[in-house]
Amino acid sequence: MIKRFLLSLLLLPAAAIAAPAASGDIATLRPTDDQAGAAKLVVGLLSDSQYHYKPLPLDDALSQDIFDAFIDSLDGERMFFVKTDIDRFQQYRTTLDDAIKGQTLAPAYDMFSVYLQRVAERTAFARGLLKKDFDFRKDENYRFDREDHPWEPTKLALDDAWRRRVKNDVLRLKLAGKDMAEIRKTLDKRYANFQARVRDLKSDDVFQSLMNAYAGSIEPHTGYMTPRTSENFNISMRLSLEGIGAVLQKEDEHTVIRSIVPGGPAALSGKLAVGDRVVGVAQGETGTAFTDVIGWRIDDVVDLIRGPKGSVVRLDVLPAAAGLDGPHEAIAITRDKVKLEEQAAKKEIVEVGSGASAHRIGVITLPAFYQDFDARRRDEPDYRSATRDVRRLLIELRAERVDGVVMDLRNNGGGSLSEAIELTGLFIPQGPVVQVRSAGGRVKVESDRNPDLAWEGPVAVLVNRASASASEIFAAAIQDYGRGLIIGEPTFGKGTVQNLVDLDVFEPGEEPRYGQLKLTVAQFFRVDGGSTQHKGVVPDIQFPVTLDAEDYGESAYDNALPWTRIRPAEYASFGDLAALTPMLQARHKVRAAKDQEFQWWAEDVAEYRKQRARTTVSLVEQERRTERDAEEARRAERKAQREAAGLAVIDAVDDDGLLASERDLQVELAREKAEEERPDVLLRETAAILADAVDLLAADKKLAARVFPERTGATAAISGSN
């Protein structure tokens, strides 16, 4: 949604910009000439079968879908507009196509202007409610899931919805032990900050949302990015930037240092610390005056701080240790290239079993299939890529004599198609990896042509519902070849290929003007001919499902492409794990039943699914206290069980009723760290399952021969000898 823009960004390279318009000017937003030009290019690309896999004419029928999607981007929770607003907007339902083709775009800005007015009215109403008292004995509830709720017919009806929303906010803080004075102060600031964030939205935000409503109405993975969004995406793919190497976040009116990138200029200078507030920015070592950035949008502050390698930026900083009225410090930092190692592939070793069954299992966690596209096009020898990083980590794990390798692709939403192909090639002999069918029906088999293997030993791939696209290509190939085990829950089900088109190539200029369009250009298919579309990759060993496909996954999109099948590619299987998986499943079931950590995790999943199915919550204080007491008792019992079992005690994170941005930064970082340090029972169990495979195949030569027929050295490979 428009209002959900990022609250923290890395300091990325770009020229300094002018100060943003005063917040009171936001209602005068209107489309720019560059947006009109971008709209023209977008229409041409999305309507042409030479570019898009599923082109649709921009007509009245599509206009209706765009209209609904744009309204949803503004008010998906249906908490700002009333039915009379929607009725007035109906004049645009079948004319948005004409507005986009005619490059006027005025209807979208008209609807956005009304949205701004309604946000101002609603936040004023909510803040007014805080002056009153609430009766928490009254039998009523709050509906927090309003996605499918009808538009409220009148302002009075919406007033009541907001009264319940504010009452719930108050009750949450009350249950967390806050007194009413503190509650009123916290919520008044919360509602005021929300209005300020919406008021700070710019013309580019409106345009990007409109173009995404258009693109997404054709196919869910087609989308538009403004020049700023495009640059951020490119940085996430190349894992490097030129700047000072820090992450910022908004804290009330201030810009605060959330974290500092190790090895970056900010870290090496030793002049900045987490929690420091940046109140002014200037360019160069001397001369230019500081620009006051208090109250600025976070990405506008980022644009001032970032810049090319070798240039100097000066920051006016209020140190974390100082109060708001404390002394300022002027800090000069020379920008440099910063590597984003936190987002790169990482390795660790998990030890499982004991005695003769003790094994060291290497784990490689891959957050995305990244690649520095520009550096590769320039044929730079040291360009950054996921495959190169994983190859290096596999060599290191091989030297450390691990018995197997787990590729952890949980929450990996994909990335570069070529990286998925090349990464698969690290584990299989040369051969087809994925089949790609273009809009014209032509099927191209994409293959790994490098016969060298970086890892010949046992492999498992750990996935979840958020593993998508390139992750599914890799997992499917490993499964189809019988090269390794797929473990976890069914994946997202995205079986389409996207290309990025830089719109500025059509009308080049000195600065980016038009942004980029992400076009769905093909469908991909497994080498066995099946598609991952909707179905995803179904694991060989399944863990309890956290999210249903209808709630999160390709099947949640009404206009997603259907599942289909094509002819299989010609490929030679590495093995057939069908004889092995039932034994592994049986061992997993026995171990999981005895593993208290795994059972607790399964209980938490069941409770999460139960809570997710709810759409309302009681506003009766006693009922809520009873629920809270029951949850606290459950946590206390689990803590006692952990202590009795000699397991590490994990302090539960209580519901304090606050948003992350409302907590003290150090407190929030501590909460995040505690969450990260929770035992990863799924990873440990995946390592144990892979260790089981090693033991079973090493102990039973006939089984090994069935699983890996006609593979010289297969038994040695699966037993971990490398």
Average pLDDT over residues 242-271: 94
The yes-or-no verdict on residue 308 having pLDDT over 60 is yes
Least confident of 357-371, 672-686, 699-713: 699-713
Pairing of strands 404-408, 459-463: parallel
Pairing of strands 223-225, 516-525: antiparallel
Q: What is the pLDDT of residue 323?
A: 74
Q: CA-based Rg of the chain, rounded to a whole angstrom?
A: 27
Residue 455 to residue 722: CA distance in whole angstroms: 8
Buried b (16+ CB within 10 A) or exposed e, 85-117: bbeebeebbebbbebbeeeebebbbebbbbbbe
Residue 531 to residue 437: CA distance in whole angstroms: 11
Nearest to 110 by CA among 70, 142, 149, 79: 70
The yes-or-no verdict on residue 716 having pLDDT over 70 is no
Q: Give the three-class secondary structure for 295.
A: coil
pLDDT digits (tens, 9 = 90+) for 66-75: 999 999 999 9
DSSP alpha helices (H): ranges in 465-548?
470-480
Q: What is the pLDDT of residue 712?
A: 42
pLDDT digits (tens, 9 = 90+) for 216-249: 999 999 999 999 999 999 999 999 999 999 999 9
User: What Cα–Cα distance (Å) separates residue 668 from each residue in 50, 192, 672?
Assistant: 49, 21, 6
The yes-or-no verdict on residue 378 having pLDDT over 70 is yes
| DSSP state, residue 582 | H
- Asked if 377 and 709 count as a contact pair (C-beta separation under 8 A), the reply is no
Residue 56 to residue 519: CA distance in whole angstroms: 13
pLDDT, averaged across the chain: 91
Angle formed by the axes of helices 203-218 and 60-75, nearest 10°: 130
Pairing of strands 516-525, 329-334: unpaired
Nearest to 225 by CA among 201, 239, 240, 204: 204
The yes-or-no verdict on residue 134 having pLDDT over 80 is yes
Which DSSP helix (H) or strand (E) runs through 224?
Answer: strand 223-225
> Whole-angstrom distance between the N-terminal and C-terminal Cα of the chain?
50
Least confident of 8-22, 193-207, 549-563, 708-722: 8-22
Q: What is the pLDDT of residue 20?
A: 37
Average pLDDT over residues 150-170: 98
* CATH number of 240-339, picked from 3.30.1330.10, 3.30.1330.60, 2.30.42.10, 3.90.800.10: 2.30.42.10
Per CATH, 240-339 and 342-718 having the same topology is answered no
The yes-or-no verdict on residue 185 having pLDDT over 50 is yes
β partners of residue 461: 407, 486
Domain ranges of the chain: 31-218, 240-339, 342-718
Average pLDDT over residues 680-698: 97
CATH 3.90.550.10 fits 342-718, yes or no: no
The yes-or-no verdict on residue 10 having pLDDT over 60 is no
User: What Cα–Cα distance (Å) separates residue 632 from each residue in 204, 626, 627?
Assistant: 46, 10, 9
Residue 459 to residue 364: CA distance in whole angstroms: 11
Average pLDDT over residues 614-628: 96
Residue 284 to residue 217: CA distance in whole angstroms: 46
User: What Cα–Cα distance (Å) separates residue 400 from each residue in 188, 361, 404, 721?
Assistant: 56, 10, 11, 12
Instruction: Pull the structure tokens for residue 467.
Output: 């593993």
**Strand stretches in 366-454, DSSP E:** 404-408, 431-438, 443-448
Cite the active site residues. 469, 480, 494
Nearest to 518 by CA among 254, 97, 220: 220
pLDDT digits (tens, 9 = 90+) for 510-524: 899 999 999 999 999
**Strand stretches in 328-458, DSSP E:** 329-334, 336-339, 346-352, 359-365, 404-408, 431-438, 443-448
The yes-or-no verdict on residue 408 having pLDDT over 50 is yes
Residue 655 to residue 168: CA distance in whole angstroms: 13
pLDDT digits (tens, 9 = 90+) for 458-476: 999 999 999 999 999 999 9
Least confident of 173-177, 265-269, 440-444, 644-648: 644-648
Backbone phi and psi for residue 280, each to the nearest 5 degrees, phi listed first: -155, 155
Instruction: Pull the structure tokens for residue 320.
Output: 């974390």
Compute CA 115 distance to the chain's CA centroid, rounded to the nearest angstrom. Answer: 27
pTM for the full predicted model = 0.92
Could you tell me what percent of the chain has a pLDDT over 90?
A: 81
Position with higher pLDDT, 665 vs 486: 486
Position with higher pLDDT, 322 vs 55: 55
Average pLDDT over residues 173-193: 97
User: What Cα–Cα distance (Å) separates residue 275 from each residue in 8, 256, 261, 293, 667?
Assistant: 13, 6, 14, 16, 11
Nearest to 369 by CA among 416, 423, 425, 409: 416
Quickly count: other Cβ atoms within 10 Å of residue 226's Cβ: 23
Cα diameter, the chain: 79
The yes-or-no verdict on residue 17 having pLDDT over 80 is no
Q: What is the pLDDT of residue 486?
A: 98
685 burial level (CB within 10 Å; 0-12, 13-18, 19+): buried
Q: What is the pLDDT of residue 24?
A: 40
